Structure 1
Amino acid sequence: MTSTVLEARATSPATSLRAVWPAILGLSVVFLVEMLDNSVLTVALPTITRELGASATDLQWITSGYSLLFGGLMIAFGAIADRYGTRRMMLLGLSLFALASLAVVAVRTPGELIAVRAAIGVTAAMTAPGTMALCFRLFDQENLLMRATSLIATVGLVGMAVGPTAGGLILQVLPWQTLLVMNVPIAVLAIVCIRRGIPSDDPAKRNTTPLDLPGALLGTVTLILTLWTATLAVEDGWGQAAPWLAGAGAILSAAAFVVRERRTAHPIFDFALIRRPTVSASLAYEAAMGLGMAALAYSVSLQLQLVWGWSPAQAALGNLPQVVVLLAVGPFVEKFAKRLGTQRAGALGAAAVVAGLLVYGLLGRYDYVWIAVALALTAAGMRVVSTIAGVTVMRGLPEDQTSTGAALSDTSQEVAGSIGMAVTGTIVAAAIAGSLTEIGTTGTGAFENAVTTATLVLTAICAALVIWAARRGSSVRDAS
């Protein structure tokens, strides 16, 4: 495609998704690999233990190292992308992501795999803010932006849901390294599509303020320590000193970050943006969605396999209602938002997540049908919220801060999800004596009571966030 065509597209936004299908395909596979990359490797942990001689601590860092750096660096890379070019950052990140993934073929020790996973986390954080920011660049019409966002989100969320199952099937015939090497052709496809379908960055639309490096460092440290605190709380429990020390470090670095950003002339993130009602309400909805995903992701698989004795394959099939609803609801999100208005539609979507959590918390222990209902409700709600909240955050920010805004949206989900996992894991660990693998013979009742308690606690937090967000959003006249 010639530069003339790309320049024309930059000044004439697309009038249909078909007109920019290479770009939509490229952004979809980027989001897919971001959602897949951590969950798909979990099924290979027993194999990695055998082949590399990995310890429990090694396995913890193999899984959490990626998440910590991915979640902790997104805002910093979003700010960099706003200044030096979102498309440029996306292409650089994808290239390095492919190289980091390919490096797994040289791994011979657990330490080397941890280093590879860390590199993948860093490069994935480089690409994440650009997904929504570049999609936002393609369209002027909000219905098209919502339709494109809905399609991209469907690819990612369905990929996340089926990732472990697909990974298990791949392991039946191929080595575990394949789960990371398959990132390479995906990244190459994304690079080709984005280069072909998205115009080059316009220097006139970049953020021209100096990059606040101390602020970026403090923000990154705060997020990494927050995510690490949640991870340590699940893995080691609050009886150990590590999560308390990490939590204290997160609080201190957060305080230093706030002081720095309020005093510097060019903050990496302007807190005034969060005070915008549409932005703050959407971030609260995103956080509620993250909490809901964490509650079900942690509890349902454990309940089906360890309490009810289902096989991994049966448990994977048990999650099908979530996948089916994610696919089925997608085409209707735009019409739903148009009929009710984005604020009301977002509130109802978030309310469906709360309702699903409530059904699971109160009734999920009695029969699978209630789990299916809970999965369907939360999937429908998440489908609506992820689309509407993402678009609303982007519309509520200046054009030269769209990458930062997209990173903020992703980070709110990531942090909320980690907190949700920590809450659930802490309550379950406090109620269960011994290993989780012994639940089926020694602790079924205690486990189910703990899951009920944890789910209801998270439901209450989600409900509070949704109510606050709905009231906050209602203070602004719905443009649609």
Structure 2
Amino acid sequence: MQPHPRRWLILIVLCLSTLVLVIDNMALTVAVPALAGDLGATSQDIQWILESYMLVFAGLLLTAGSLSDRYGRRKLMVIGLVLFGAASLAATFAADPGQLIAARVAMGVGGAMIMPNTLSILMVVFPDEAERRKAMAAGAAFAVLGLIGGPVAGGALIASLGWEAVFWINVPVALLAIVAALTLMPESKGSAAKPDPVGAVLSVIGMSALVWTINELAHGIAWIPLIVAVVALAAFIGWELRTEHPMVPLKLFRDRDFSGGSLSLTLVQIGSGGMLLVLTQYMQFVLGYTPAQAGLAFIPMVIASVAFNGLGAALGGKLGNRTTAVLGMLVMAGGFAVLGLSTPDSFVGLAVAQVVLGAGSGLAGPTAIAALMGAVPTEQAGVGSALNDTIQQAGAALGVAILGSLATSSFSSAMPATAPEAARRSVAAAVADPSLADAARHAYDAAMSTAFLGAAAGVLGAAVLALFLLRGRAVSSPSRPEAVSELASVR
């Protein structure tokens, strides 16, 4: 299969599409105080503003990936960009929390239609394994840039234009991506298969309930969503295994590269998913950084991640997926150990730990994804990409819940027993009390150590899985002849 002549321009479109999703979610976190005051939002309203998007997004990923394979990946992505941009525009006019929640739900639907197609289109326009690795590394670098740059850009925009700016910024980016997609990008789809409405409904219910359960772990086990998640996902797996036309090809998990990449990425995301939450709070409440300063303090991680994404792409082709992924995960575990075993009370200490973490993630992440997606037939690239996104989203949500719970419980136990209950549960409330501020800072030091040592253990577990499950050599991609013969037209 010949590479697409405009593939590098198409990569820019795919990066823009991913960037708009990442920046929105990260920038919104710094907008919470401003929009809460303006809209009169309660704590429960804020929770729904943040989580309604994730519930819909995670629930629809698998269905959206399957639909894109059937009806066209570019088509679904453009529809998603239109919906995401329109919902972002509507969010700027929200007059109460209910209207903003409704806009966030619509943004979640649009995001679910965009996300799986970025990687599946990349697979189609980059059939060459070496070029695909470089393209994946560039995409990962853009995602990291948005992850860290979102809070910085959001803080600056909110200070001058108000909370609405974090939604306004999505509109021109989405418009640019739509025009570029229609102008530059080829349409592609998989072999026509019958729809699987039962699988779609069960996956939406099961994944939404699972994310809801994970998000509530900090407050205790939400039994009803947990039961719904277990029943719906078990029914989904049973149905997909016996139906003649499954929405999700679960047989992919029989492939060592797919199962090894999936499981190891889940553990990596659990380790790194809560890192920003814990480290950002440490910078602001212990070191006294402003939100903008905290965002800027992550620049060393961005630089290291971008640099080592490129190196990881080169090493993956030469050493193979297993060696490069395991090496990256071991380096990441070392970075978490540095944070857990020391108390970085200066920017230099934080920068060193972040460079190690960024280097490890740059080596491990794109390589593990390359191994995972290398096992996916090209005609199922959409649903394969959706599976990858779903796994990473679930891992990131688990990371926030697990590391957040570890930090909270460790902080509470380290605070004086005579401290008020609110101060023992929240570092923000504790540092606001001058008589407890020093004790709270020392307690959060201990909490951060506990959380990051747990993260190091999780990433080490990922390295062990990758070592035993991933193949030792770089394997041929889904552009191999038997897969290409099944690929529908790319026009």
- The residue aligned with 1:351 is 330
Q: CA deviation at 1:26?
A: 0.7
**3-state SS of 1:173 partner:** helix
Paired residues of 1:365 and 1:448 also in contact (CA < 8 A): no
- The residue aligned with 1:167 is 154
**What CA distance in whole angstroms lies between the structure 2 residues aligned with 1:140 and 1:115?**
40
Paired residues of 1:307 and 1:439 also in contact (CA < 8 A): no
The answer to whether 1:177 aligns with 2:164 is yes
Paired residues of 1:139 and 1:145 also in contact (CA < 8 A): yes
Amino acid of the residue matched to residue 321 of structure 2?
Answer: T
The answer to whether 1:226 aligns with 2:217 is no
Query: Deviation string for 1:224-250 (max 9, x for gaps)?
Result: 11211121123xx11xx6x23322322
Amino acid of the residue matched to residue 210 of structure 2?
Answer: T
Q: CA deviation at 1:223?
A: 1.5
The answer to whether 1:280 aligns with 2:259 is yes
Pick one of 203, 210, 222 that aligns with 2:194: 210
Q: CA deviation at 1:58?
A: 0.5
Q: CA deviation at 1:50?
A: 1.2
Q: CA deviation at 1:302?
A: 1.0
Paired residues of 1:294 and 1:418 also in contact (CA < 8 A): yes
**What CA distance in whole angstroms lies between the structure 2 residues aligned with 1:398 and 1:313?**
44
TM-score normalised to structure 2 length: 0.88
Q: CA deviation at 1:449?
A: 2.3
- The residue aligned with 1:24 is 11
Q: CA deviation at 1:368?
A: 4.7
Q: CA deviation at 1:263?
A: 2.3
Q: CA deviation at 1:140?
A: 2.1
Paired residues of 1:69 and 1:122 also in contact (CA < 8 A): yes
In the TM superposition, 1:272-421 aligns within 5 A as 272-364=251-343, 368-421=347-400
- The residue aligned with 1:4 is none
- The residue aligned with 1:44 is 31
Amino acid of the residue matched to residue 111 of structure 2?
Answer: A
Paired residues of 1:280 and 1:469 also in contact (CA < 8 A): no
Aligned residues between the structures = 458
Paired residues of 1:279 and 1:396 also in contact (CA < 8 A): yes
Amino acid of the residue matched to residue 317 of structure 1?
Answer: L
The answer to whether 1:103 aligns with 2:90 is yes
Structure 1: runs of 5 or more not aligned: 1-10
Pick one of 12, 36, 40 that aligns with 2:2: 12
Amino acid of the residue matched to residue 437 of structure 1?
Answer: A
Q: CA deviation at 1:194?
A: 1.6
**3-state SS of 1:199 partner:** coil
Q: CA deviation at 1:265?
A: 1.8
- The residue aligned with 2:107 is 120
In the superposition, relative to structure 1, how do residues 90 and 313 fare at CA in structure 2: closer, same or farther (>3 Å)? closer
Q: CA deviation at 1:477?
A: 4.3
Query: Deviation string for 1:153-212 (max 9, x for gaps)?
Result: 2112111111101101011211321211221111111112222222123xxx52322222
The answer to whether 1:422 aligns with 2:406 is no
Paired residues of 2:211 and 2:394 also in contact (CA < 8 A): yes
- Indicate the larger mover: 412-421 or 260-269: 260-269
- Indicate the larger mover: 438-447 or 81-90: 438-447
**What CA distance in whole angstroms lies between the structure 2 residues aligned with 1:372 and 1:460?**
21
The answer to whether 1:257 aligns with 2:267 is no
Paired residues of 1:393 and 1:406 also in contact (CA < 8 A): no
Query: Deviation string for 1:132-170 (max 9, x for gaps)?
Result: 111111122111111111112211211111110110101
**What CA distance in whole angstroms lies between the structure 1 residues aligned with 2:355 and 2:279?**
13
**What CA distance in whole angstroms lies between the structure 2 residues aligned with 1:281 and 1:364?**
34
Amino acid of the residue matched to residue 455 of structure 2?
Answer: L
Paired residues of 2:27 and 2:150 also in contact (CA < 8 A): yes
**What CA distance in whole angstroms lies between the structure 2 residues aligned with 1:430 and 1:34?**
32
- The residue aligned with 1:3 is none
Pick one of 456, 475, 483 that aligns with 1:479: 475
The answer to whether 1:444 aligns with 2:441 is yes
Paired residues of 1:292 and 1:378 also in contact (CA < 8 A): no
**What CA distance in whole angstroms lies between the structure 2 residues aligned with 1:323 and 1:153?**
11
In the superposition, relative to structure 1, how do residues 178 and 310 fare at CA in structure 2: closer, same or farther (>3 Å)? closer
Paired residues of 2:265 and 2:462 also in contact (CA < 8 A): no
**3-state SS of 1:265 partner:** coil
Query: Deviation string for 1:76-104 (max 9, x for gaps)?
Result: 10011111111111111111111111112
**What CA distance in whole angstroms lies between the structure 1 residues aligned with 2:88 and 2:385?**
24
TM-score normalised to structure 1 length: 0.90
- Indicate the larger mover: 318-327 or 416-425: 318-327
Percent of matched pairs sharing the same residue? 31
Query: Deviation string for 1:284-336 (max 9, x for gaps)?
Result: 23223312322321211111111222232332232121122123223323222
- Where do 4+ consecutive residues of structure 1 move more than 6 Å? none
- Give the superposed CA RMSD: 1.9
Amino acid of the residue matched to residue 154 of structure 2?
Answer: G
**3-state SS of 1:44 partner:** helix
